[in-house]
Chain A
Amino acid sequence: MHTQRRRLKDTTMSEHPVHRSAADAVAIGPATSEPFDTLLHQAHAARLGMWVFLASELLLFGGFFALLTAYRFEHADGFREAVHANTKVLGSMNTLVLLTSSTCVAVAVHVFREGRRRLAGALVFTTVALGAVFLTLKMTEYGLHFHEGIFPGGHGEWFLHHDTPGLATFWTIYFVATGLHAMHVTVGMIFLGIVGRSVLNGRLPRAHAHRLELAAVYWHLVDVVWIFLWPLFYLA
């Protein structure tokens, strides 16, 4: 299905993935940016760069995972009580929205490689739309929390009649972590929107499919982070 990737995989790690033959070189086209000899080579570097960046992002959220784990040991009862008070149905719907959006963008990458440009573009923008749905639901949830009197920092009247230790901590980390995640969703939507536009109007040639892949991979990471935030904040 994706022949370019196969070829990339075959070259060993210690050597340049330079073109094997002149025919390949013509098919792949010249490099666009300075330090690389071929586009294929540049695409691999871009992909590796994105993965290294995502590794970094994972550690950013890793800080939250460490905090949540530690606080759960310290305030087991408070955290369980707070989870039960959370908007579980909305949060779970949001998980489903993100899983669907990930599927959409994965399929978009696949069909773009096959040259079905319009379908790919439509799927990318479906993903962006699902991102918007996610953010809307998230905002609704925040609204419901504020309505109940739950504000970050243990402020609000909800805390007047709920005083198990750890409740304030749970909600503050909840707001900060989901807020940071929502920022990542927004960045991912912008990124996908820009690439999606050039997919639709044909300015992104098939040989440059890696740009779409980069945006997609970023979007998947946002999804993966949410896959873990969901049980920690809503389920148990």
Chain B
Amino acid sequence: MRRLLLTAAALVALWGASFGLSYVELGRASLAVALIIAAFKAVLVVLVFMELLHEKTSVKLAAGSALLTVTIFVTLVAADVATRAPAPLDPPEPHPTHVSPGTGAPGW
């Protein structure tokens, strides 16, 4: 019981931190900070409230593989968009010799 209430207190504290920090101008880091705090909260909920710590290996495997798969998914999609040179569907800029959509990127 004590553990549950401590966790709840920690969750509210993290919520407050995240909410407060959103008023501080952190520039590009603000999203990263907010997501890191969110990750801490999620870990608390999953391990303590959902009792993953006490579950059997098979349950941990299920949770772990879901997390791994989501990570792969988001990473490889992001890797594409982050390394695309010009967005392929932007209207082509007036350019005398239009060679390929990826003029700035390493070619095929």
Contacts and interface: CB of A to CB of B under 8 A. Distances in A.
A and B touch in the complex (CB under 8 A): yes
Interface of A: 1-2, 5-6, 8-9, 11, 13, 44, 47-48, 51-52, 54-56, 58-59, 62-63, 65-66, 69-70, 72-74, 88, 92, 95-96, 99-100, 102-103, 105-107, 110-111, 213, 216-217, 220-221, 223-224, 227-228, 230-232, 234-236
Interface residues of B, number: 48
Contacts of A69: 74, 77-78, 81
B3 to A, nearest CB: 9
B35 A228 contact: yes
A79 to B, nearest CB: 9
A66 B76 CA distance: 9
B58 A13 contact: yes
Interface in B1-36: 1, 4-5, 7-8, 11-12, 15, 18-19, 22, 26, 30-31, 33-35
Contacts of B26: 236
B37 to A, nearest CB: 8
B42 A235 contact: no
Nearest to A47: B59
Interface of B is mostly: helix
Contacts of B73: 59, 62-63, 65-66
A56 B54 CA distance: 21
Given A58-B70, A69-B78, A220-B50, A110 B19 contact: no
B62 interface: yes
B74 A99 contact: no
B77 A70 contact: yes
B35 to A, nearest CB: 6
B49 A65 contact: no
Given A66-B77, A102-B49, A110 B58 contact: no
Interface in B68-92: 69-70, 73-74, 77-78, 80-82, 87
Contact of B66 (A54, A70, A99): A54
B46 interface: yes
B56 A99 contact: no
Contacts of B59: 47-48, 51
Given A54-B62, A220-B49, 13 more contacts: A54-B66, A59-B70, A62-B69, A66-B74, A66-B77, A70-B78, A96-B12, A103-B49, A223-B45, A227-B42, A227-B45, A228-B42, A236-B31
B81 A59 contact: no
Contacts of B11: 99, 102-103
